[in-house]
Amino acid sequence: MSLFGNKNKKVKDSCCCGSSCDEQSMEKAIAEQSEGVFIKVLGSGCSKCRELENNTKIALEQLGMDTTIEHITDFTQIASYGIMTTPALVVGGNVVSFGKVLKVEEIIKLLQKIL
């Protein structure tokens, strides 16, 4: 009899969302990160997230870019980007901002620098 249980027992790795995600949702999140150039707003859909999305649309219009913005509200997918505070802005699979609402001018500067 062992005091601390079976030493050979395998411990299942848990993810950052407390194991509430499944294999399919994690695969989808990883696949989406490996796509080409795209813009995503990560957040629950609160007013700050919507404001960041709106500012990003305005910035894209001012730059003459016809890029679709995807708003991700699934916390499994958000966590797969490694951020803990929203809203966040993802350009081409890279998180360029998180935890604050960027102004239109700030987004334009970021996009010009990245793209």
> Looking at the annotation, which residues are catalytic?
46, 49
Q: Hey, is 71 helix, strand or coil?
A: strand
DSSP 34: T
CA distance 33 to 16: 17
Both tokens of residue 30?
A: 């990883």
